[in-house]
Structure formats: C-alpha cells, structure tokens
Structure 1
C-alpha cells in the first residue's frame, strides 16, 4: 500500500472553516520537532459526597489515605515536554468545605500544599471561585 496520500479539505479564515465545494488536497505533516509547551490550563470533573465524614487523620499526608477523602489526577507537561501526573487530593474540612492539595506524583518526597478551598452552599452549588488558579511545584 505504498504511494497512498493523506488528504483533507482545505480550511481558511479565522476560525478556520472548510471551503465549500473544494477538492481534497494532500496534507503534509512536517517531520521537524515542535517546541515543548508547559501545561497552563487543566480541568477535572469530580463528585464530592457531602455526607462523607471528616478524615480520621487530621494532618494531610498524601501517603496516608486516611488523611483525605478523594484523590484524582491530571496529566500535565513541563517545559521540556515531559508528562507528569499531578495528583489532586480533596479533604473535607467541615460542612460543605473541602481543601484541595496538589502534588507531582513523580516526586514522592515532595510536600503537597493546600492549593485552594472549595465552598458549597446547602444545595451543593459551588460558591467559591470555580476557576481558582492552582499552582503546583516540584520540590
């Protein structure tokens, strides 16, 4: 199957739109390296159960599952294009209040810092800033 070509319809404008009635053209994918780009934005969807109890261990410790209620992760990329799993921990601190901690999973000796607090009203609606910047760093 040699000699086949990858084709697609040309797009123009901003935002790009496919040209009506155009014929497919060859698509060229350059084999040059692209510059790495650090992750600047990520999002996650998670359900936090309002009936969860407070953790049995008061001081947050990423290595102790009894010190947090829920854990998730987001893949992020550093300035060299290396992937890192950023662990995100949710700790219930009171009625409708949750602290969020982040930690680079590739650094098990790192210290997680409380990144933000999520506050919900009695109906479960988030009342704190849902777009709060969360910064994580590698120790």
Structure 2
C-alpha cells in the first residue's frame, strides 16, 4: 500500500508538474505549489511504512515493548510533522514563494487532528521506554 500510494503521490505532485513545466505550459514558480503539498502525504506514508516495519520486526521475534515504543515514536513524529507542515508551514511557504496573500494558518481539521495524534503517539512511545526501564530495574531487584 505504501508503495502504490507513494507512486500516486509522486506522480501527481512531482512527475506531472515537472513534465508540464518542461513542456512550457507551466512556469517554474508555479511548479513549487504541488511539490510543497506533497510533503505532508510523504510524512504520513513514512508513518504507515514504520508500522509495517514494526510488524515485520515483531514477526521476526523482536522484543515487544522496545519495538512498539520505537514504532510509536516514529509514527508519532511522522504524523506530527506532516500535520504541522500542512497546517502552518505549507501555506506560509506558498505565500512566500508565490507572493500571494492569505491567512497564516490553513484551517485543515484533518491535518490538525493528525498532528495532535502524532504528538500523543510520540509521547506514548516515550512512556513505554520509561516503563521498560522501570521494569528492567524491578526485574534486577527480584
């Protein structure tokens, strides 16, 4: 799934605009718009890929807590960065690149939700790391 959706995002956000720009139907400054909007989907796809990696590691017999904590941190970071980029960075970057007017915040409820969930997952991964350290310390006492 990650590969197929990644190819679609790459096709729509990178390859088609570059071909259109090279054919002369689009100027170079408007080429940046689709490239900027593809950053968030690539962050989200990295999160999905990280989940697949964690499932593979668990299937190969890796330690559950360490694997899940690492996956939660990576997925949380990917979702958080993608959400923050789509809500705050993309609109302001496009305002700068295209010299356009508009708001400083793209009120994207999905992006805001993904950003907040990403932050919560990242923090949950840290909590699992601390719980594993406490468990190891308790195991040493016994």
Q: What TM-score, normalized to structure 2? A: 0.23
Structure with greater helix percent? 2
More strand by share: 1
Using structure 1 for the length normalisation, give the TM-score.
0.23
Q: Which has the higher contact order (CA 8 A, sep 6+)?
A: 2
